[in-house]
Amino acid sequence: MTNNSDTPIDGSNKLFDNNLLEGRHVPSPGLWDEMRSFLAIARAGSLLGATETLGISQPTLSRRLMTLEDRLGQLVIRKPHGVELTTKGREVAERIAKIDLEFSDLFTASSAATYRSVVKVAATDGLAAFWLAPHIPGLLQQGIQVSLEIISLQNIPNLKKNEVDIIVAFPVPVQDDFIVEDLGHLHLTTFASLEYIKRFGTPTRDNLSDHRFVGNRQYLSSSDFWRDWVDVTKEAQYIAGTDMNVTYATMIKSGLGLGLLGNYMNMDPYLIHVDLGVNIGHGIRMFSLEQKRNYPEIAATKQWIRGIFRGNPWFLSEMIVNDEVSDYDQRVRWLMNHYST
């Protein structure tokens, strides 16, 4: 294989556009530091956040922004808690982001040290652990130069302050510059472990007083939304509880008692769906910022997330609880010890 870095740059080299190399175009103004600094401001949503990212002082950052605005016009509007991009600023940020990605690809091709754009995704514990995390290899196999950070939704992060780039969650307060996309429906229903049923028998509506349940603070609200599950907990004995969803699922799987889990947990060979007439449905949505719509790394990550949820039988409007295997399931089944599938 020929190493392109050793190929002479002459008229016979078809890899190069001679017009570009012979200086027939007006050279760029050379504002690389200024453009890089502005991209950091756009991504951080504030000058302070950008200084932390770049490791430079705020006066230096302000001078670079002023230099770029002298050439291109106003790019940001200063607000009490950060900055807002102007229409021109958004256009410039998107074009610089594309250049940044091109440089990423260049260094990836020529060096073993790969630079990747970091995309931060906030999601609920269950969706993050059982659906996003197992599918990350699929994102990377597409050749997309992204480093993914999955962040807890326990304290809802702020899109505008650049704490995250994408939120995958149930409905949250929406602002005008949010892009909101429906991904599907999460269905919560009742499960117990094989071990629990062997010890205590199968729970029914008529014998709940003989059974135990594991509590999750999020599911014990007095609102009508949780009524079906709260009715179950009034009759059964409280045995343990948590406010951490993955820990909650582990408690149920270990045989402590009944619990409320996503219907997809039926794929776990150690859990049994217990039909008590409980089906609590949540819409799942993806939230992102309009001003980052055309950032290549964010657009690619959003498309990957759509591919996980949209059309997935577990997240359709009608709840299923069955043993049929779909193309969406393989990595989740591996996680749940279905090594033979």
The answer as to whether 252 is a domain residue is yes
Q: Considering the chain, what is the average pLDDT of its residues? A: 84
Reported for 86-95, long-range contacts at CB under 8 A and 24+ positions apart, including other chains, are 89/38, 89/42, 90/42, 90/291, 92/38, 92/68, 93/38, 93/39, 93/42, 93/43, 93/291, 94/294, 94/295
Residues 190-206: pLDDT tens digits?
999 999 999 999 999 99
Q: Are residues 37 and 158 in the same domain?
A: no
Q: Are residues 34 and 170 in the same domain?
A: no
Range of the domain at 170: 117-184+283-313
Q: Are residues 134 and 201 in the same domain?
A: no
Residues 223-242: pLDDT tens digits?
788 999 999 999 999 999 99
The answer as to whether 332 is a domain residue is no
218 closest CA partner among 271, 308, 167, 154: 154
Q: What's the rounded Cα separation, in Å, for the pair 274 and 258?
A: 8
Q: Are residues 130 and 59 in the same domain?
A: no
Q: Are residues 26 and 74 in the same domain?
A: yes
The CATH number covering residue 74 comes to: 1.10.10.10
Query: Tokens standing for 164?
Result: 């995250």
Q: Are residues 87 and 215 in the same domain?
A: no
Q: Are residues 295 and 156 in the same domain?
A: yes
Expressed in angstroms, the distance from the first to the final Cα of the chain is: 39
Question: Which pLDDT score, from 0 to 100, does residue 319 have?
Answer: 95
Domain count of the fold of the chain: 3
The answer as to whether 293 is a domain residue is yes
Residues 323-334: pLDDT tens digits?
787 888 888 888
| Domain final position from 54, 82, 110 | 110
The answer as to whether 103 is a domain residue is yes
Q: Are residues 29 and 73 in the same domain?
A: yes
The answer as to whether 337 is a domain residue is no
The answer, yes or no, to whether residue 73 has pLDDT greater than 70, is: yes
The answer as to whether 266 is a domain residue is yes
The CATH number covering residue 133 comes to: 3.40.190.10
Q: Are residues 68 and 196 in the same domain?
A: no
Higher pLDDT, 217 or 105: 217
The answer as to whether 254 is a domain residue is yes
Q: Are residues 292 and 161 in the same domain?
A: yes
Q: Among 113-122, 190-199, 277-286, which stretch is predicted with the lowest mean pLDDT?
A: 113-122
| Domain final position from 110, 141, 170 | 110
**Type of residue found at 22:** E
Q: Cα-Cα-Cα-Cα dihedral of 194, 200, 205, 210, to 10°?
A: -150
What letter would DSSP give residue 142? T
